[in-house]
């Protein structure tokens, strides 16, 4: 098992200056860093890769930030194209940083949660299938895989559970597309998180570790022992990345409804979370 930290715990606008985070994360014992990409060109990928390597870290993955104008199921052609092109940009940056994976809710802008008609849902589903097929073709050329993340009902009405994501993977029909499961979202939506992991099986490409309150893994109600057992049962040996948030990063705190601190600071969360996970999977 390899352990990483998502940069959103420290900043919502990752750039060249944030290379300074790497020595501290390495000292804590992390294997890699998951970079949340605002936009292609936000940082020099050559210098970023060099800094990762100097600190004995790798880029585990690129985490897509699907905000306004990036919506494969959008109501207008511009936002649909924006979602596809942004995903391609994430693939390009992942390739330049020698990562293997792009993860996130690739299918839709976060926060779009409506009561859609069945006809509209079918239409949107078809749009996303087409968009992901095009994205997977680009990923194939670059040697990158995509991890599709179900989100909780308050952040999307589109793909909330593992079974929904598996259906999308089947409809797209590319070996480059798999699942990205997040323990926070699973704790809200799945009847049984461990069984959801088992259903994902070989299609599980990535795991985000976060507590039910978005805090430090191991401090809340997520059934960690059962999750660890399920991951062992499917022989999962990829990345487990902590994606937790603090009120200090204002833009992310507002987007994720983080209204109170769950730890003293981001470093404390990162250190305690990694200690818990390494013990859990030992």
What CATH number is attached to the domain comprising 56? 3.20.20.150
Q: Which residues are paired to 156 by β-bridges?
A: 112
The parts of the chain modelled with pLDDT lower than 50 are none
pLDDT value for 281: 95
Domain count, the chain: 1
Q: Mark whether 149 is an active-site residue.
A: yes
Kindly name the residue from 149, 155, 211, 263 that is annotated as catalytic.
Answer: 149
pLDDT value for 102: 98
Q: How many CA atoms within 13 Å lie on the side-chain side of 226?
A: 13
pLDDT value for 249: 65
Residues spanned by the domain of 63: 2-280
First to last CA, the chain: 9
pLDDT value for 23: 98
pLDDT value for 259: 72
Structure tokens at 56: 């004995």
Q: Mark whether 118 is an active-site residue.
A: no
């Amino acid at each position: 098992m390899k352990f990483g930290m998502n940069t959103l715990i420290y900043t919502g606008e990752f750039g060249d200056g944030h290379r300074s985070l790497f020595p501290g994360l390495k000292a804590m014992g992390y294997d890699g860093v998951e970079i949340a990409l605002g936009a292609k060109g936000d940082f020099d990928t050559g210098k970023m890769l060099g800094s990762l390597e100097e600190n004995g870290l790798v880029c585990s993955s690129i985490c897509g930030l699907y905000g306004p104008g990036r919506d494969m199921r959008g109501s207008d052609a511009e936002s649909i194209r924006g979602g596809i092109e942004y995903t391609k940009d994430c693939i390009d940056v992942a390739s330049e940083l020698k990562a293997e994976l792009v993860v996130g809710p690739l299918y839709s802008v976060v926060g779009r949660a409506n009561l859609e008609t069945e006809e509209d849902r079918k239409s949107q589903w078809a749009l996303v299938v087409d968009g992901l097929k095009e994205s997977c073709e680009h990923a194939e050329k670059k040697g990158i895989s995509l991890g599709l993340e179900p989100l909780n009902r308050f952040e999307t009405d589109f793909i909330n559970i593992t079974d929904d994501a598996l259906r999308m993977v089947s409809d797209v029909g590319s070996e480059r597309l798999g699942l990205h499961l997040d323990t926070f979202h699973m704790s809200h939506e799945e009847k049984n998180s461990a069984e959801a992991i088992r259903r994902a099986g070989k299609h599980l490409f990535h795991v985000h570790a976060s507590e039910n309150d978005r805090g430090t893994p191991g401090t809340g109600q997520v059934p960690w022992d059962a999750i660890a057992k399920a991951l062992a049962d499917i022989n999962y040996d990829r990345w487990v990345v902590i994606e937790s948030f603090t009120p200090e990063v204002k833009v992310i705190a507002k987007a994720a409804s983080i209204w109170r601190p769950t730890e003293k600071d981001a470093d404390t969360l990162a250190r305690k979370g990694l200690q818990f996970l390494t013990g859990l999977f030992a």
